[in-house]
């Protein structure tokens, strides 16, 4: 079974530029998550999709971050404009249905450095 | 107060010894509890989950949950150098409840 795919793996941009990350979840997984992990911290949920609907985006900085999951499969996360504090690893994860005891499987992450 | 708290470490453990990791959480409505291992530069991988009070064993790993004390722990028996990593405690509420992660405890197993 293929895992969660993410691209790019690394990205360096200057502040005020825009950037987009892509995620392809495990086949058949209805629930997709985007996390931000700042160095030395645990992952923080930015947004959770159930199929192509948003379940939780309470911690998404909506003035600069946006995410979509068209057709309930792939997802993109965009930052526009980027700030220095956005430097982090962006992790995508997926689970079968989003139930409380389900395992979330993480992709390899995208490392973003904002200069 | 952080919602999920862990000692940051590093926790230095001699090879073959038991590593004991602790985690406390603030939301009494939390229903499921997870331990993830994260190697440097890698993404988190699930080690165990537990949702009932008591102990749950899987190989060299034992998770312990005490909901009354809002406490979950992970024991690693016969620690190996390959166990050197950061261990993340994660707590989740009911259906659609988001997974809240602690900052992680770094474990260093010394030969």
DSSP string, A27-45: TT--EEEEEEE-TTS--EE
Chain A positions touching B49 (Cβ under 8 A) are 101, 103
The Cα–Cα gap between A82 and A114 comes to: 7
Chain A positions touching B34 (Cβ under 8 A) are 103
- Confidence band (pLDDT; 50, 70, 90) for B1? low
pLDDT for res B46:
93
User: What integer best gives the mean pLDDT of chain A?
Assistant: 94
- Confidence band (pLDDT; 50, 70, 90) for B93? confident
Q: What tokens appear for A48 in the block?
A: 């959770």
Residue A99 has its nearest CB partner, among B44, B45, B95, at B95
CB contact under 8 A, B97 and A99: no
Smallest CA–CA distance, residue A53 to chain B, in Å, is: 12
Instruction: Please answer whether residues B24 and B71 qualify as being in contact, where contact means their C-beta atoms are separated by less than 8 angstroms.
Output: yes
Instruction: Please answer whether residues A23 and A74 qualify as being in contact, where contact means their C-beta atoms are separated by less than 8 angstroms.
Output: yes
**Residues in Cβ contact with B54 at an 8 Å cutoff, skipping those fewer than 6 apart:** B64, B65
Note the pLDDT tens digit of each residue in B8-40. Answer: 889 999 999 999 999 999 988 888 999 999 999
Q: Mean per-residue pLDDT for B49-69?
A: 95
Interface test mutation site (partner A, options B6, B7, B44, max chain A beta carbons within 10 A): B44
Has residue B96 got a pLDDT over 70? no
- Confidence band (pLDDT; 50, 70, 90) for A102? confident
The answer to whether residue B97 neighbours chain A at the CB level (below 8 Å) is yes
- Confidence band (pLDDT; 50, 70, 90) for A45? very high
CB contact under 8 A, B98 and A99: no
CB contact under 8 A, A101 and B90: no
Q: Mean per-residue pLDDT for A26-55?
A: 94
Q: Mean per-residue pLDDT for A80-104?
A: 90
Scanning B51-80 for CB atoms below 8 A from A yields: 51
Dihedrals phi, psi of B98, to nearest 5 degrees: -80, 155
CB contact under 8 A, A42 and B45: no
Has residue B78 got a pLDDT over 70? yes
Interface test mutation site (partner A, options B25, B30, B43, max chain A beta carbons within 10 A): B43
Has residue A100 got a pLDDT over 80? no
pLDDT for res A16:
97
């Amino acid at each position: 079974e293929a895992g969660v795919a993410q691209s790019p793996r690394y990205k360096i941009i200057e502040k005020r530029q825009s950037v987009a990350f892509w995620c392809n979840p495990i086949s058949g997984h209805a629930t997709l998550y985007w996390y931000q992990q700042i160095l030395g911290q645990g992952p923080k949920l930015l947004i959770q999709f159930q199929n192509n609907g948003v379940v939780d985006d309470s911690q998404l900085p909506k003035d600069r971050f946006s995410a979509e999951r068209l057709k309930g499969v792939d997802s993109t996360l965009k930052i526009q404009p980027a700030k220095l504090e956005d430097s982090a690893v962006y992790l995508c994860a997926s689970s079968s249905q989003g139930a409380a005891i389900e395992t979330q499987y993480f992709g390899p992450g995208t490392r973003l450095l904002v200069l | 107060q952080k919602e999920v708290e862990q000692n940051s470490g590093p926790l230095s453990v001699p090879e073959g010894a038991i590593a004991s990791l602790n985690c406390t959480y603030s939301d009494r409505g939390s229903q499921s509890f997870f331990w993830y291992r994260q190697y440097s530069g890698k993404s988190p991988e699930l080690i165990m989950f537990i949702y009932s009070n008591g102990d749950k064993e899987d190989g060299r790993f034992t998770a312990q949950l005490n909901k009354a004390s809002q406490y979950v722990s992970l024991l690693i028996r016969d620690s190996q150098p390959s166990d050197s990593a950061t261990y993340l405690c994660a707590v989740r509420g009911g259906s659609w409840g988001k997974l809240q992660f602690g900052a992680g405890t770094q474990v260093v197993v010394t030969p």
